[in-house]
Chains A and B, each alone.
Chain A
Amino acid sequence: MITAKKNHQPKTLEAVVIRFVGDSGDGMQLTGTQFSDTSAMFGNDIATFPNYPSEIRAPQGSLYGVSGFQVHIGSVEISTPGDNVDLLVAMNPAGLKTNLHAVKPGHTIIVDTDAFTKKNLEKALYETNPLRDGSLENYRVIEVDMTSLTKEALKNVEGLDNKSITRSKNMFALGMVYWMYGRSKQHTIDFFNKKFKTKPHLIEANTKVLNAGYFFAETLELIPNSYTISPAKMPSGSYRIIMGNTATAWGFLAAAEKSGLELFLGSYPITPATDILHELVKHKHFGVKAFQAEDEIAGIASAIGASFAGDLAITTTSGPGLALKGEALGLAMMIELPLVVVDVQRGGPSTGLPTKTEQSDLLQALYGRNGESPVIVIAASTPANCFNYAYMASKLALEHMAPVILLTDGYIANGSAPWKIKTVSEMPDINHKMVKEAKTDWHPYNRDEETLARDWAIPGTPGLEHRVGGLEKDSLTGNVSYVPENHELMTKTRAEKIKRVQNYIPNLNVEFAQTGDLLVVGWGGTYGTLLSAVKQLNEEGCKNIGFAHFNYINPLPKNTKEVFSKFKKVIVCELNNGQFANVLRMNFSGIEFLQFNKIQGLPFGNTELMDKFKQLVK
């Protein structure tokens, strides 16, 4: 099963995909994060993808309780967490069973043999032990009695109960992987020192286990080979590793500072959006007002109130929450106040797949309100650019006096990647519409001639007292109006205002072929997977494929039709049943939009994309 090689030379690889899997209480998310952070500091480009069950502590050893963390590290540009796995670390039989299909044949699996007990095998629905029945003979399996070795390493450490001993075995696995890829343990040791500042025995224990794993891998000849991955070539500058949800939160912090406004978040916890709330509540030092409301509706309602009173106001949610916010969002649209609604999309419909990713809220974002109710809709496409799009969402809301829905998804929100740190000074200016003092003949619905944005007069400003509301209003005074022509005029004005945002957003960019046989189209969080598929095909010689990815969805960029017209075929790839394809059909008649859809709660795989595109350019 294991080919022992002596005196092996480290292999140099461009990129490697590692997946850590175990019980949801096994600490796999921590192990994965430590490995990816360490690699990023070493200079690798990285992309990560956590995959965990919605149960907090699912029954031990069960198939549905498996928690995983995948990391893709490379000396080349990494745009996705990767498809197939070069190294699987499986802490129990359930983890092995549910993840084996992802391991490339011939590649490596590390297992904790201590966890392959009769009971655990039964829970994982194995009839025979896969370590013994020959079913793994196409892989390099490294069997390590990790639990016993962890116990042995800790036998002289005082003050530890059995539970904390077994729970630190994930650090044994991490130590092994560090050695295999030539990574330093220092970052993780620093982490222990910080995290367990007041519990020195835990610092000692975790450091011991990490070292034990590292030296185990170094000493034993059982390791089949080891790899080195050189630093990636990235633009010079200061970087940090950032999660999509954190980047979103930080984009709002930057927008508040740049615009000179205070930031108000009204929110209700919902997976996978809650981390934005968790992040923003920390930042009272910047005067952030984060209000955890009693429900989704109160979350957006409080944000509308804060916006009326002059704050940069946002609310964060996921699909079901957006449904609840629909009526209030219509109010914000009607009274033309700046507001950002973040929808971190998850698998739907209804409660759906809360911890899995999907792009199926697009039509809800565009149309999920009563009446003619257009809002600006934009989508972030990588963990790091959640920062930019949160910032842009704020800028557009404030400059155009309109609600903006920012779509991200579970995949980029929980994924992390290097972020070249932006300073607030390098971000574009935000010119909000606040009027500071009374003018003669002023009306609440005075509009900017270019953008059609109305003035933002906030309570506390003498002489500008006025009333707004959800009833249709007169086009100038804002007083209630049932005049038929006025309603039509206001409906069209509100639509035109959103359409004119086209003049303030960048054109659609095309990567690779600028004209040719096939244009691959995507939007939002699928950017990385689509990019790597097209890039790889390009490197394989398919020079006739272009790639256009949308971040601005309502309104669409001005040059959209022109881009489509340069290709013979257009295929729209999305993690839903074809929502964006239908939007494009509605907007651009005469163009045939092919579709590639996946609705499994999972991101696209590289191979399935490449196969599909190859077929189309044959």
Chain B
Amino acid sequence: METTAEKKYTFKDFTSDQEVRWCPGCDDYVILRSMQKALPEMGVKREDVVFISGIGCSSRFPYYMNTYGMHSIHGRAPGIASGVKLANPDLSVWIMTGDGDAMAIGGNHFIHILRRNIDLNIVLFNNEIYGLTKGQFSPTSLVGQKTKSSPYGNTQPPFSPGELAIGAQARFFARIGGNNPKDMTQIFIEAHKFKGTSLIEVLQNCVIFNDGCYTKYTDKDVKEDKQIYLEHGKPMIFGKNKDKGLVLNGLKLEVVTIGENGITQEDILVHNAKEQDPTLHQMLVRLAYPLATGIIRSFDDVTLEERENALTAQVKANSNFRKTDDLFFSGETYEVK
């Protein structure tokens, strides 16, 4: 195999000749460009990259990438991507999906792919609305949210993608604002490096049907005070003045101010994304203030392929069957003269 060092890609190498057709101002453009910038940094060959999507605005993504790709059917990208990866484990496989695709029609596949821990990546474009069908509530829409299919307010409580994912044994979960290409690019690179299924929730603004749904967290002037960007091994500190931090108070996370009530930096929790026990990760995912972003969980575990390969090697070593003829003539056969 040729080494990747032979060719240094730029984002243009990953840009297809297809005209991008998302609405002007959509965060999907940010995700697209972040991915095209992240791929050259991953050291992966273009022909080894596969994007699989389902249905929805997010799922047009593969058409815009100059890699292998499939725009499949609603909710089923995890099944298709699993088949691609199991057929050829050398590929870098990405599922591009939305909140409806992944958690409504594809909810069953979503939880099972996380449980299995196949080495692939899922980018979840969460805009808390159905965009392509023009504005119905989704499984992440808020209670009371007025949409085309809930004119008097939504009565169905939402999923929190991270909570659902970690409940389904996700080993890698990251969350990032749709207006933050710099960190998003880095998270895509980290997701690629991670061995196992990685899930990245992008808080993606839908300019047409749910505009401003994340502004209270992601607007330039509030984001430092309302978000905490978590990094493994670093204290959980946030705020414009870097003076706010998280501590554990009983079974709850609590925001404290460094320098008040005798709190010092020593008292602040240090983020351990690699911890197997997901309790604290779940608490971070659920936190409403500040909103946790960055890589919240990154626990190294055995992948499905590793288990399968080990079994296959073991079976091959203990079997006399090399060709199907060996099987067909094995056991009880008899001759007719």
Question: Which residues from chain A sit less than 8 Å from chain B, CB to CB?
Answer: 37, 40-41, 43, 187, 234-241, 250, 253-254, 257, 262, 264, 266, 283-287, 289, 291, 293-295, 297-311, 313, 327-328, 330-331, 335, 421-424, 458-471, 479-480
Contact = CB atoms under 8 A, between A and B. Distances in A.
B329 A284 contact: no
B87 A306 contact: yes
Contacts of A285: 315-316, 319, 321-322
Contacts of B78: 298, 301
B328 A423 contact: yes
A467 B16 contact: yes
Given A234-B336, A294-B108, A459-B68, 15 more contacts: A236-B336, A236-B337, A237-B336, A285-B322, A286-B327, A298-B109, A304-B80, A308-B87, A335-B70, A424-B325, A459-B84, A460-B47, A465-B66, A469-B69, A470-B72
B39 to A, nearest CB: 12
A257 B78 CA distance: 28
27 contacts: A238-B334, A238-B335, A239-B334, A240-B328, A240-B333, A284-B315, A286-B327, A287-B312, A289-B86, A291-B82, A299-B79, A300-B79, A303-B83, A304-B83, A305-B70, A308-B68, A309-B50, A309-B83, A313-B87, A328-B73, A328-B76, A421-B328, A459-B50, A461-B47, A462-B45, A465-B67, A468-B70
Interface in B23-75: 45-50, 52, 62-63, 65-73
Given A250-B328, A257-B323, A471-B71, A41 B334 contact: yes
B84 A465 contact: no
A60 to B, nearest CB: 33
Contacts of A41: 332, 334
Contacts of A305: 52, 70, 79-87
A264 B62 contact: no
B72 to A, nearest CB: 6
Contacts of B331: 240
A460 B91 contact: yes
Contacts of B332: 37, 41, 187, 240-241
Which 9 A-B residue pairings sit nearest by Cβ, starting from the closest?
A305-B83, A301-B79, A469-B71, A302-B83, A309-B87, A285-B319, A298-B79, A305-B80, A306-B83
Contact of B71 (A237, A313, A470): A470
Contacts of B311: 284
Interface in B280-337: 308, 311-312, 315-316, 319, 321-325, 327-329, 331-337
Contacts of B323: 257, 424
A40 B335 CA distance: 10
Given A305-B52, A460-B47, A469 B72 contact: yes
B141 to A, nearest CB: 25
Interface of B: 16, 18, 45-50, 52, 62-63, 65-73, 76, 78-88, 90-91, 108-109, 112, 308, 311-312, 315-316, 319, 321-325, 327-329, 331-337
B84 A306 contact: yes
B83 A460 contact: no
Nearest to B71: A469
A459 B47 contact: yes
Given A238-B329, A240-B332, A254 B79 contact: no
Contacts of A297: 76, 79, 109
Nearest to B90: A460
B83 A264 contact: yes
A161 B76 CA distance: 51
B323 to A, nearest CB: 7
A538 B72 CA distance: 54
Contacts of B325: 423-424
Contacts of B66: 465
Contacts of B109: 294, 297-298, 301
Nearest to B320: A285
Interface centre among B65, B83, B84, B331 (most CB of A within 10 A): B83
B328 A422 contact: yes
Nearest to B313: A284
Contacts of B72: 301, 304, 331, 469-470
Nearest to B331: A240
B91 A459 contact: yes
Contacts of A307: 83
Contacts of A262: 87
A308 B84 CA distance: 7
Given A283-B327, A309-B88, A466 B45 contact: no
Nearest to A258: B324
B47 A467 contact: no
A302 B86 CA distance: 9
B8 to A, nearest CB: 16
B63 A239 contact: no
A311 B87 CA distance: 6
Nearest to A462: B47
A423 B324 CA distance: 8
A237 B335 contact: yes
A424 B324 CA distance: 7
A294 B79 CA distance: 9
A469 B83 CA distance: 16
Contact of B68 (A293, A327, A465): A465
Contacts of B47: 459-465
Interface centre among A286, A297, A328 (most CB of B within 10 A): A286
A461 B90 CA distance: 12
B233 to A, nearest CB: 36
A307 B76 CA distance: 15
Given A294-B108, A298-B78, A471-B71, A286 B321 contact: yes
A327 B73 CA distance: 8
A424 B328 CA distance: 10
A307 B316 CA distance: 24
B324 A250 contact: yes
Contacts of B76: 297-298, 301, 328
B118 to A, nearest CB: 10
B12 to A, nearest CB: 14
B11 to A, nearest CB: 15
A106 to B, nearest CB: 33
A462 B46 CA distance: 8
B71 A284 contact: no
Contacts of A257: 323-324
A253 B324 contact: yes
B73 A467 contact: no
Given A234-B336, A467-B62, A302 B70 contact: no
Contacts of B112: 293-294, 298
A480 B84 contact: no
A154 B264 CA distance: 81
A286 B324 contact: yes
Nearest to A301: B79
A300 B73 CA distance: 12
Contacts of A300: 79
B333 A310 contact: no
Contact of B108 (A253, A295, A308): A295
Contacts of B329: 238, 421
A234 B334 CA distance: 12
A289 B62 contact: no
A470 B324 CA distance: 36
A331 B79 CA distance: 13
Interface centre among B76, B88, B332, B336 (most CB of A within 10 A): B336
A313 B83 contact: yes
Contact of A289 (B45, B52, B108, B308): B308
Contacts of A237: 335-336
Nearest to B115: A294
A287 B324 CA distance: 11
B328 A308 contact: no
